[in-house]
Amino acid sequence: MTGAIPPPDERRADLVLAGRSRVAVMDALRQAGAPLTVYDLAQRVGLHANTIRFHLVRLVEAGLVRETQAAPTGPGRPHLVYSAVPGETLQHEPRDYRLLAQILASYLAANAPAAIVAGRQWGQFLTERPVPFQHLDARAASERLVGMFAELGFQPEAADDGRRILLHHCPFREVAEQQPEVVCSVHLGLMRGALAALEAPLEATRLDPFVTPHLCVAHLKEGSAATPAGRSAGR
């Protein structure tokens, strides 16, 4: 019937697969003739390995991807490998991670700086650092930041003034509406961590949540090159 509401499993799959990067990961797994490692997927899809891991966590949680250990090939721990779950055998117990996110967000609500620190650490982890001695200018750093947030599902757009990033989709909208000071602090931290990892002459100064019902705006300004945590400029 035209306009019929899809069953819950299909709606859940649609939400999990939102975003081109995650769809590309699923396509690579479906087309592969054997399970793939994170690094196999990174090469096929063209994303940073840490970003691939981020997407795989969501896909495994949704029951769309199966995670197993490869057979040992020598000393050391066997690699984890991933394969797409055939649609006809897709079965999983329902899990509501939104409740967990709400619990953690309410716990952090009294300490927004801790949320920024957590976001900064993850921002550094998810960012593909430039090669040694490569120095990005503000424009190139902004493009990298937009690319990273696109991979995470934020549907970002660089504003014409070059000093704002428009975020058209919040993957954590339901929690952000209840705890914007926490969720948006994490997102601001992600930006600051990414810029620090890039050692970019750019700073994320603030994030304005829900400027319109479906738009958040991040503000940037040029400054001295940021450095990753634990490092000092000039060392």
Say which residues have a Cβ less than 8 Å from residue 41's Cβ, sequence separation at least 6.
25, 28, 29, 47, 52, 56, 82
Angstrom CA distances, 183 to 109, 139, 189, 222, stand at 9, 26, 10, 25
Out of 86-90, 111-115, 135-139, give the one with best mean pLDDT: 135-139
Pick from 165, 130, 173: nearest CA to 149 = 165
Checking if the pLDDT of 203 tops 60, the result is: yes
- pLDDT at position 92: 47
Out of 48-52, 95-99, 109-113, 211-215, give the one with best mean pLDDT: 211-215
Confidence of residue 235 (pLDDT cuts 50, 70, 90): very low
CA–CA distance, 116 with 208 (Å, rounded to integer)? 15
Class of CATH domain 111-222: alpha beta
CATH number of 8-87, picked from 1.10.10.10, 1.10.3720.10, 3.40.640.10, 3.30.420.250: 1.10.10.10
The whole-chain average pLDDT of the chain stands at 81
How many CA atoms lie within 13 Å of 235's alpha carbon, on the beta-carbon side? 8
- pLDDT at position 135: 85
Count the Cβ atoms, other than its own, within 10 Å of residue 174. 12
Structure-derived torsion over alpha carbons of residues 106, 228, 50, 134, reported in degrees to the nearest 10: 150
- For residues 88-101, give the mean pLDDT: 57
How many CA atoms lie within 13 Å of 154's alpha carbon, on the beta-carbon side? 23
Is 41 buried (19+), middle (13-18) or exposed (0-12) by CB count in 10 A?
buried
- pLDDT at position 62: 82
Domain range annotation of the chain: 8-87, 111-222
Least reliable range by pLDDT among 32-36, 59-63, 121-125, 157-161 = 59-63
Confidence of residue 88 (pLDDT cuts 50, 70, 90): very low
Least reliable range by pLDDT among 5-14, 53-62, 135-144 = 5-14
Confidence of residue 178 (pLDDT cuts 50, 70, 90): confident
- For residues 68-93, give the mean pLDDT: 72
- pLDDT at position 4: 45
pLDDT in tens, 117-160: 999 999 999 888 887 878 889 999 999 999 899 888 898 999 98
